[in-house]
Amino acid sequence: MLKWNHGSKIALLREVFELTRNRLAQRLVKLRQEKGLTQGMLAKHLDVSHASVVSWECGRTDPSLFMVECIAFFYGCSLDYLCGITDVRGVGGAA
């Protein structure tokens, strides 16, 4: 059995967090561009600042869980897809 010390667990969690943040940022850009929206247009649809959208897409900050849910609903995709956990875009496993 693999034994992990506390330091290696934290390092692994940081790595997973960064991968998820990067995938989320990439998906946000991809979905926005596919819909033909500018960052400013998306910001207005979501009722957030343009700076927030820029920050999310650059991976500098993450949207709140509530906002991630709103974004997924807006694009008609699952949270798992939006966060890069799966490549299946649809909600409920629908492609």
CA quadruple 49, 55, 61, 65: dihedral, nearest 10: 50
Query: Could you report the per-residue pLDDT of 43-91, keeping only the tens digit for each?
Result: 999 999 999 999 999 999 999 999 999 999 999 999 999 988 899 988 7
**pLDDT at position 5:** 61
**pLDDT at position 12:** 77
Structure tokens at 13: 């969690």
Query: Could you report the per-residue pLDDT of 2-35, keeping only the tens digit for each?
Result: 455 666 778 877 777 777 788 999 999 999 999 9
